[in-house]
Amino acid sequence: MDTVWLLNVITQGEDSKHQFKANVKRSDSLAQEMVAFSNSLGGMILIGVNDDGSLAGLTPDDIGRLNQLVSNAATEHMRPPIAPVTENISYPDGMVMVVTVPEGISKPYMDKNLHVFVKSGADKRKVIAREELQRMFQSAALVHADEIPVRNSSIADVDQGFFSSFFEREFGESVADQGISCARLMENMNLMRDGQLNISGALLFANRPQIRLPVYIIKAVAFPGNDIADEHYIDSRDISGKLSDIFREAMSFVLANIRHVQNDQSFNSTGVPEIPRIVFEELIANALIHRDYFISAPVRLLVFADRIEIISPGGLPNNLTVENVLMGNSNIRNPILASFASKVLPYRGLGSGIRRALKAHPDIEFIDDRVGNTFTVIIART
């Protein structure tokens, strides 16, 4: 870092990665800024710069005092503590201290009063929404949405025939042969706790999971044109049921609303989908398994004349990027659900599903919208 770098940053103004401070007198206020950066994508606090970008400048005495203040803010006024890096840049009108705060790996970070802050543009805001706090705990692998108990659920909600068939198929023994109750067996399989199904147990094995989890469905609509604002539609369904039911009906919906071509088949054949079936198998399965279940919203499956969109609640987890995903990297957001998914869906869990989809149909776009908190897959139609 040098004077040229500093002037370039100041010229661009404050944003979600750069905060200007003319001076700082209190450790607690500085700690709140560092908490916000740690809970977001990291950033820099430039002390000695006015809000309007003019240089306030710091004296050598200021630098000595601020070094102690930064240390106190990072260790005594934050939970957990962090280790920011400071650098002093000389300027004719005084010095500027640059405090670099990396993105934290132990979110959520809090101030000494246990308040959580995140960056919101160039400002910070206090986090009060439960779902947002839960996602922070999730990013630190402290809690996962799929293990959260479903209120008022019980073993009575389980489709006993479906679960028994699944168990015998996977383990080669009947449930009755285990010598323990079905509820205890499901607890041992991490599908129940204290007599209540968790989200994984309900979505996988409940007879009617949407009684307790009404928003965890797929809303599917087929439009005649290319605009979601179109007042008319060809087909529309709210697809509910077990995860396996939702997958099967979503596949049926999309295949029924796209063209089928004859290719080299006989005249009486049903034809093959204009987009290979494996593309939808991989992408719909991923949407159901990897969506953010802390967000109370459905997956949306939209068929347009020129494209198909699959919109999942929640951006990519943690530091995963679209580029990582295209290379086959994965980060499992719902580990219990993922561990069972390969047994009820065409899902392998090896990070290769998107690459298989792209191999079969290269014209697919992936959009990770961190602001809107969605992940969208756009499949172009031929």
Query: Which CATH number fits the domain that encloses residue 261?
Result: 3.30.565.60
- Distance CA(15)–CA(33), nearest Å, equals 13
Residue 261 forms beta bridges with which residues? Answer: 272
Domain that holds residue 37: 3-128
Look-up of token digits 């890096």: 85
140 lies in a domain? no
Tell me 58's DSSP state. Answer: B
Tens-digit pLDDT string for the chain (382 aa): 678 888 889 999 999 999 999 999 999 999 999 999 998 889 999 999 999 989 898 999 999 999 999 999 999 999 989 999 999 998 887 899 999 999 887 788 999 988 999 998 889 999 877 667 777 766 665 578 898 899 999 999 999 999 999 999 999 999 999 999 999 999 999 999 999 999 999 999 999 999 999 999 999 999 999 999 888 999 999 999 999 999 999 999 999 999 988 766 665 666 789 999 999 999 999 999 999 998 889 999 999 999 999 999 988 876 678 888 887 766 678 889 988 888 888 776 656 788 889 999 999 999 999 878 899 999 999 7
Is residue 75 located within the same domain as residue 171? no
Mutual angle of helices 277-290 and 243-256, in 10-degree steps = 140
Select from 66, 94, 128 the last residue of a domain: 128
Query: Which CATH number fits the domain that encloses residue 85?
Result: 3.30.950.30
Look-up of token digits 């601020």: 66
Look-up of token digits 């530091």: 319
**Cβ-Cβ contacts under 8 Å for 177 (sequence gap 6 or more):** none
Average model confidence (pLDDT) for the chain?
89
Is residue 230 located within the same domain as residue 369? yes
Is residue 275 located within the same domain as residue 197? no
136 lies in a domain? no
What was the pLDDT predicted at 153? 95
Is residue 315 located within the same domain as residue 234? yes
- Distance CA(34)–CA(28), nearest Å, equals 10
Q: How many domains does the chain have?
A: 3
Is residue 122 located within the same domain as residue 10? yes
What string of DSSP letters covers 213-281?
-TT-SEEEEE-SSS-TT-S--SEEEEE-SSHHHHHHHHHHHHHHTS-EE-TTS-TTS--EESS-HHHHH
31 lies in a domain? yes
Is residue 266 located within the same domain as residue 196? no
Is residue 262 located within the same domain as residue 356? yes
Is residue 72 located within the same domain as residue 199? no
Is residue 192 located within the same domain as residue 245? no
Map residue 171 onto helix, strand or coil.
Answer: helix
What was the pLDDT predicted at 165? 94
**Cβ-Cβ contacts under 8 Å for 88 (sequence gap 6 or more):** 63, 95, 96, 97, 98
* Contact predicate 364/309, CB 8 Å: no
Is residue 362 located within the same domain as residue 226? yes
Select from 128, 163, 193 the last residue of a domain: 128
What was the pLDDT predicted at 214? 94
138 lies in a domain? no
Select from 95, 128, 161 the last residue of a domain: 128
Residue 368 forms beta bridges with which residues? Answer: 375
Is residue 275 located within the same domain as residue 193? no
pLDDT tens, residue by residue, 173-225: 999 999 999 999 999 999 999 999 999 999 999 999 999 999 999 999 999 99
* Contact predicate 134/116, CB 8 Å: no
257 lies in a domain? yes
37 lies in a domain? yes
282 lies in a domain? yes
What was the pLDDT predicted at 319? 67
pTM over 0.75: no
Is residue 229 located within the same domain as residue 370? yes
345 lies in a domain? yes
344 φ/ψ angles, rounded to the nearest 5 degrees: -125, -10
What was the pLDDT predicted at 353? 81
What was the pLDDT predicted at 351? 64
What was the pLDDT predicted at 6? 84
- Distance CA(322)–CA(354), nearest Å, equals 11
